[in-house]
Amino acid sequence: MGAIEALYIFDEHNNSILQHTYNGHPASAKVLLPLYLAQPAPRPSLTYLPNINPATLLFSIIQDRLLFLCPTSKDIEPLLVLEFLHRVADVLEDFLGSPLLASRIEASYDVVAQLLGEMCDASAIANTEPNALHDLVEPPSKINELLRGVGLPSSSPSLNPSGSTPFSLGSGPRPTIPRAPPPTPTVLWRKANVRHTSNELYVDIVETLSVLSAPSGRPLAAFAHGTIAFTAKVSGVPNLLLNLSVPGGIQHVLSLPVFHPCVRLARWREKPGELSFIPPDGRFVLAGYEVDLLGPDYLENATKAVSAKPHQKHNVAPNLNLPATAEVRTNLGHSGAEFEVRLLLSNSFTSSASSSLASSQSSAARSAPRPAFGIAAGTSAQPTVSDITVTVPLPPAVRNLSDIRANKGEAHFAPSDGAVEWRIASKDVAVLAASGHGAGGAAVATLRCTVVGPLNDDEEGIEEIAWGETWEYQDDKPYQAPGVKDVGGDKGRDTRRMGKNRMLMPSAARVSFQVKGWLASGIRVERLIVDTQTSRGLGAGVKPYTGAKYLTVSEGGVEVRC
Amino acid sequence: MLETARDLTLEAARDATAARRSATRGMSTVHLKKLLDSRSERDVLEGLRRVIAMSYRQEPTHSLFTHLIKNIASPSLEIKKLVYAYLLQHAESSPDTALLSINSIQKSLTDQNPQLRALALRVMSGIRVPVISQIVSLGIKRGVGDMSPYVRKAAALAILKCYRLDPGTEPQMIEYLAALLGDKQYFVAGAAVSAFLEVCPDRLDLIHPHYRSLLRKLLDMDEWSQLDTLRLMGNYARRCFPRRKRRVKRLIDKRGTSTNTKGFYDGSSSGSEENTSNKDAFYDEIILDPDLSLLLESAASLLQSRNSAVVLAVTRTYLYLGTDSHVDQAIGPLIALLRSASDIQYIALHNIIQVCLLRPKAFVPYATHFLVRSTDAPHIWQLKLELLTLIYPLCTSPLQGLILSELDHLSRGHDTLLVREAVRAVGRCAQNSDGSTSSRCLRLLLSHIHSPDGHLVAESLEVVRHLIQRDPATHQSIVIRLAKNLDTLTNPYARASIIWLVGEFAGIDPENNIAADVLRILVKGFVDEAEVAKLQIVLLAAKVYVHYLNLTQPTASSFEQSAQVKTSTVLAPNDDEDRLRESTFAVNKYEPDRSAEDSLKGPEHPIVVIWRYIQLLSRYDTSYDLRDRARLYRSLLAVPSSTQLASLVLLAPKPVPQAPSPSETRRDLLLGSSSLIVGEEGGIGGLRGYEKLPDWVKESEEPNPGLREEGFDNNYGEKREVSASEKLEVMESEKTLSNNVVGGSNTNGHKQKALNDWLDESDSEEGETEEETDEETTEDDSEGEGSETDEGEKVMLMKER
């Protein structure tokens, strides 16, 4: 079985910024990078390079625009390496600050060197828990950096008192007396002797939508991928209990969960929806799950409904209540060169201008302490939609869009990406909501575009025949249309152009948006309590602030076909 | 707001320093040496930071090595760590200088601080200088007996490195390993397992006494140790638990499992025992050894791990060691891996396919997870398409409809590669399913014929042709339908495909075959056809002509055969050559003569006329390939009475094309290995370092199960090994009984402490940290094993689930 042999990191311009060798004599970064880049653009995460010495398996991930490469010369479990690379990226981000930038790594090579040494000990992955690493490696303190820059001693006692400084930026207490043996942590994933002046607990549930609709508008698949991110800033060793609930029962709705190792699985199995755990210090991902928004028997039921009432195809969609979705109609206009995207905004979400203001406040209100579960007005009572973008990918044959008309928002075509991007600002959404309460309970915005195909397709009538000759030589399919002469006439040309333009039509549109204060699955945090019986180190009578935030995101996740 | 403002200022300041730094990047070595030799801790640190930065930037730092090494004796932990970090990276390139450090590292091995001890052990073993292997071995020996589990863990990992450094130390290493494998700290045992796999993977006798305790620790280990342990246990189980089966009478409701179980066993290496004769009444039930069940049960909770590699390792364990129901348990978690980043998704999909090849039925409920999205990269959608086709035959009718319309949609896309794969996927769907669904696929493909997309049309017809060839008898009407399309179809490749098909069917039902008529129509437009189509038209003409000859001269092929052969062997060659020569030089003259000759027998058959006309047309074509082929057919068919050779060449039965699922070739590769992802490129038998799972041990050759009894060879004092969950139960009950256990008044001694107790303790510890550290050191010195137990206990308790 193989082992991790080296780690190479490159910045966004593919300059090598770090080369760390763990074991053996792997191929160097100079050799590997060109071979990696030689592959076509969306590169797979594992490539085999048999023609170099030693023959190398090259693993790669890209995080925060940095490229991580890891070569091995023997067979190895690929997921092990990839998970390790992800952990390295996460730990570096945790220590050096988010987002992970090349300059940050370059500025603290000493910390990176220690981290890489701790995480993988001569090719055996040893310790990847950020909390445990914090016990062993000191993060680069920004104050230190600053002082070093100015030329002052960083360990001056007056500037750097023991315990947490007010400027310690959440890195927790630093072990300032290096000679004292640091205490061994009691739990693998939690730092020892955590202390915070303000005790806070936050739950952020983020659901990412993945919806696919057929051209008829009928959803084919609709999933919400949920992540429960948890922020614990509590002293001592707290024992927490988090209850989730959802109409319909958590065990039916929430499926395929994965958990952070701190979660007691037996408790979850016994009482679904109850998470009992001792959290690591700081922010971490507590759990991930999946919700099938259509329900398990959707497909069967839908077909039955269709066969029963064949004309009401559109109504079989179940209670899939999306804030925004789209419809695309193609081959419009007299030569079929136009297409139209209609964005449908659900009324229950469209925000008035005031509530969108409230939502922006609530997002900023994060740092301010909030009463326990007093969810700020305007978030979950009236969820607000923002950042609506519709992306329409176009086939590469489309040369340009001669005409882009959007009745709301702005749209532009980027030939390099081959897609039209149509953004609708929040205030436009508000206007839409106010004006268009008709149209079946949804506000509608439309975008209409005309495509321009390859050059030789634009030529009309007589010229076309003249073109026919030269075309033969340009393309290796000479008899493109022997039937042209037979069909003839205006009508024939039109249908032919229609056919050609059909090749230039988009085949899908993707809608992106963000909804604060709403979860597609309807999951809610019922309560979050600190079990005082079993928790230690939390002063008597201290009640941590608790807060929950819900966010539903679609990053091009709502896809409508046409 | 305040916070962000402050952040920004700090950021700006930091950037300014970074800029300053880059200006001083090329700091002279003299200055650096001065820094490193300085007495001020701060200067040394600064110097070390710069040297490390330089070495990461691939700048030469060799001249500074000796100056750097001096600082290894520094009392500052921070400085030590940096020197160690540098040493590990560079010791190999200048071993002599590195050796200077050994003494001081050895000193650190006896430091009071366990963290430093562990670090020293790690670094000493990490210096890749073979001469010190004996010193390292001694260091490990000390580390194995250390009371801090962190040091023992470092010792376990050092074993691995020491063995790599000098394989001659193996006997000592194995001795140390034997001790560490039984360590009651799960993270020590986990590290020992990793070392075991590298040092002596075949010494399973070392595992026997710890088998059960390792499994009990499995859940508490970190993710990487879990992976190693599962790998070890895979090998162990195959070598120690023979596959036992019992013949069981099938229940009356047959649940449709028979075929599935069969498929599954076929895949595993024990498949040879499978017997098909008893299919109806009996089936083989696997009897699991209780110890094997323990492995399978212990792994179950890991299916909820956040680490995708662990989930896959459990799946592998279940697939190769467990029963069907175990595998089914793992399907959901496997699907959950598709939520991860696309790099992990790619690997996960490959492995899902591997499981799906063996148990497609279990994936049917997850079909909608495999729908292709417009953002998927090619390597992702290719795998998704394969999955869809694999499960297609087992889906319910609405689901099949969904998959087909999905493929239909994709085949109308713009990406040529995607179009081709989608159409081929439809073909695979059709060939793997029964009549009605198959014809559904065929209809779908046929509907593509008039698409303006040439690639789609050509690819569809290609697949249609394959389908028809697989079962010619039932598809005759489709050929006729296709032939009708020749009037309007413009894509030359599609036309060629259809013409070829018509030719293949020319011999069936000679009374009302369309081939001749199709040929007649095609000949009219021959000049305007593309070359590919022309080639096929000439071939069609030849086929039609052969069939005609075979029909009109039945005598030639039946009883006059022998005579015919004789004459033809004697006469025909010359005759042929003559005729050929003549015809090439003087066709215009000769042909009319011949037709005149023939016309004496009456009006000539239209097929003959067409054949001759085609020959004429092709002779003057611009393409030499076409001319050559035409000549070949002409000489083949030169003698109307001798058609044997021509029939052999033209009417030979064609092999039925097969389109197996692309991953079918990887079927035998181990789930979760890199070889599986790389596939054929990795060479036969996988990549370097690829290890197959051993075959099941034969009955009565397995080691004595009694060896696994605990206490059999228990040299590390596991008197009472209780799993964490059991402990929780005990504690809960204790809590309910007496909720007032306060303070350190524990009556049951160390082992029976309740959670409350030690939490209290740690609380008081926190209040007086300094005192605590003192206490710990004295404890370490005097009490040794006792305090150790405490520490272990704590960790165990916190992990309770």
Q: Is the pLDDT of residue B713 over 50?
A: no
Report which of B417, B416, B380, B388 is spatially closest to residue B404, judged by C-alpha positions.
B388
| CB < 8 Å from B in window 298-337 of A | 299-300, 302-303
A61/B343 CB distance under 8 A: yes
Residue B152: Cβ within 10 Å count:
26
Region B768-787: mean pLDDT is: 43
Q: Which residue has the higher pLDDT, A192 or B217?
A: B217
- Residue B570 has a pLDDT of 37
The pLDDT tens digits for A107-121 are 888 899 999 988 988
- Residue B15 has a pLDDT of 53
CA distances from B114 to A124, A217, B773 (A): 20, 64, 12
- Residue B229 has a pLDDT of 93
d(CA B222, CA B245): 35
How far does chain A reach from its first CA to its final CA, in angstroms?
48
Confidence at B493, pLDDT banded by 50, 70, 90: confident
> Among the CATH numbers 3.40.50.460, 3.40.50.1820, 1.25.10.10, 3.40.50.1970, which is that of B27-249?
1.25.10.10
The answer to whether the CB of A63 falls within 8 A of the CB of A94 is: no
Q: Residue A559: which of B313, B343, B374 has the nearest Cβ?
A: B374
Helix pair angle (B515-524, B492-504), 10° resolution: 150
The pLDDT tens digits for B547-594 are 888 888 764 444 444 444 333 333 334 444 444 444 444 444 444 444
CB < 8 Å to A215, chain B:
409
Q: Is the pLDDT of residue B597 over 60?
A: no
**Residue B138 — φ and ψ, nearest 5°?**
-60, -45
Residue B210: Cβ within 10 Å count:
25
- Residue A426 has a pLDDT of 78
The pLDDT tens digits for A121-165 are 877 888 888 888 888 888 876 555 555 545 444 443 333 333 333
Query: What string of DSSP letters covers B755-776?
Result: HHHHHHHHHHHHHTHHHHHHHH
Kindly state whether A79 is in contact with chain B, defined as any CB-CB distance less than 8 angstroms. Answer: yes
**Residue A457 — φ and ψ, nearest 5°?**
-85, -15
Cis peptide before A296 (omega within 30 of 0): no
Domain A200-299+520-561 shares a fold with domain A323-452+505-512: yes
Return the structure tokens found at A408. 């709301």
Region A3-7: mean pLDDT is: 89
Q: Which residue has the higher pLDDT, A56 or B734?
A: A56
Indicate the SS3 state at residue B668. Answer: coil
Q: Is the pLDDT of residue A403 over 70?
A: yes
Query: Across chain A, what does the average pLDDT equal?
Result: 76
- Residue A354 has a pLDDT of 37
Query: Across chain B, what does the average pLDDT equal?
Result: 77
Domain A6-126, CATH class in plain words: alpha beta
Minimum mean pLDDT range among B15-19, B303-307, B527-531, B770-774: B770-774
The pLDDT tens digits for A443-501 are 788 899 888 877 664 444 333 333 333 333 333 333 333 443 444 456 666 777 777 78
- Residue B309 has a pLDDT of 93
Region A554-561: mean pLDDT is: 89
The pLDDT tens digits for A353-370 are 333 333 333 333 333 333
- Residue A491 has a pLDDT of 63
The single-letter code of the amino acid at B774 is D
CB < 8 Å to A99, chain B:
none
- Sequence-distant (6+) residues with CB within 8 A of A454 are A397, A399
The pLDDT tens digits for A19-29 are 888 887 888 88
The answer to whether the CB of A56 falls within 8 A of the CB of A32 is: yes
B452/A499 CB distance under 8 A: yes
Give CA angle at A312 (A307, A316), nearest 5°. 80
| CB < 8 Å from B in window 400-459 of A | none
CATH code that applies to domain A323-452+505-512: 2.60.40.1170
* Shortest CA gap A45–chain B (Å): 5
Q: Is the pLDDT of residue B600 over 60?
A: no
Element (H, E) at B258: helix B258-267
| High-pLDDT (> 70) share of chain B, % | 75
- Residue B593 has a pLDDT of 45
- Residue A485 has a pLDDT of 40
Return the structure tokens found at B349. 């999909």
The domain segmentation of chain B, as residue ranges, is: 27-249, 515-650, 662-708, 724-798
Region A375-381: mean pLDDT is: 44
The pLDDT tens digits for B363-410 are 998 988 999 988 888 999 999 999 999 999 888 888 888 898 888 888
3-state helix, strand, coil in chain B (%, to 5): 70, 0, 25
Q: Residue A114: which of B85, B153, B231 has the nearest Cβ?
A: B85
Residue B188: Cβ within 10 Å count:
27
Report which of B134, B125, B50, B32 is spatially closest to residue B86, judged by C-alpha positions.
B50
Q: Which residue has the higher pLDDT, A442 or A252?
A: A252
- Residue B263 has a pLDDT of 41
Q: Is the pLDDT of residue A537 over 70?
A: yes
Q: Is the pLDDT of residue A33 over 60?
A: yes
- Residue A369 has a pLDDT of 35
- Residue B193 has a pLDDT of 92
Q: Where do the H-state alpha helices sit in B600-713?
A: 606-619, 624-636, 644-650, 674-678
Residue A496: Cβ within 10 Å count:
17
Kindly state whether A113 is in contact with chain B, defined as any CB-CB distance less than 8 angstroms. Answer: yes
- Sequence-distant (6+) residues with CB within 8 A of B581 are none
Residue B59: Cβ within 10 Å count:
11
The single-letter code of the amino acid at A471 is W
A-B CB pairs within 8 A amount to 341
B795/A186 CB distance under 8 A: yes
Q: Provide the 8-state DSSP code for B396.
A: -
d(CA B542, CA B83): 84
Q: Where do the H-state alpha helices sit in B412-530?
A: 416-432, 435-446, 454-470, 476-484, 492-504, 515-524
The answer to whether the CB of B595 falls within 8 A of the CB of B601 is: no
- Residue B337 has a pLDDT of 93
Q: Find residue A121's DSSP bridge partners.
A: A124
d(CA B512, CA B653): 21
- Sequence-distant (6+) residues with CB within 8 A of B230 are B218, B299, B302, B310, B313, B314, B316, B317
Q: Residue B78: which of A61, A178, A536 has the nearest Cβ?
A: A178
Q: Is the pLDDT of residue B6 over 80?
A: no
- Residue A441 has a pLDDT of 58
Confidence at B660, pLDDT banded by 50, 70, 90: confident
- Residue B602 has a pLDDT of 62
| CB < 8 Å from B in window 171-230 of A | 178-184, 186-188, 193, 210, 212, 214-215, 220-221, 223, 225
Q: Is the pLDDT of residue B485 over 90?
A: no
Q: Which residue has the higher pLDDT, B655 or B154?
A: B154
- Residue A507 has a pLDDT of 86
Q: Residue A395: which of B348, B414, B492 has the nearest Cβ?
A: B414
Report which of A323, A328, A135 is spatially closest to residue A217, judged by C-alpha positions.
A328
Q: Is the pLDDT of residue B781 over 50?
A: no
A181/B776 CB distance under 8 A: yes
Indicate the SS3 state at residue B42. Answer: helix
- Residue A83 has a pLDDT of 94
The domain segmentation of chain A, as residue ranges, is: 6-126, 200-299+520-561, 323-452+505-512, 455-502
The yes or no reply on domain A200-299+520-561 and CATH 2.60.40.1170 is yes
Cis peptide before A54 (omega within 30 of 0): yes
ipTM field:
0.82
The answer to whether the CB of A459 falls within 8 A of the CB of A467 is: yes
Minimum mean pLDDT range among A152-161, A280-289, B572-581, B701-710: A152-161
Q: Which residue has the higher pLDDT, A482 or B189?
A: B189
Q: Residue B224: which of A75, A125, A186 has the nearest Cβ?
A: A125
Confidence at A305, pLDDT banded by 50, 70, 90: low
**Looking at chain A, which residue has its C-alpha nearest residue B726?**
A266
- Sequence-distant (6+) residues with CB within 8 A of B59 are none
d(CA A244, CA B555): 88
Q: Is the pLDDT of residue A286 over 90?
A: yes
* Shortest CA gap A373–chain B (Å): 23
Element (H, E) at A207: strand A200-213
The answer to whether the CB of A148 falls within 8 A of the CB of B46 is: yes
Q: Is the pLDDT of residue B151 over 80?
A: yes
- Residue A141 has a pLDDT of 66
Indicate the SS3 state at residue B359. Answer: coil
- Residue A53 has a pLDDT of 82
- Residue B40 has a pLDDT of 84
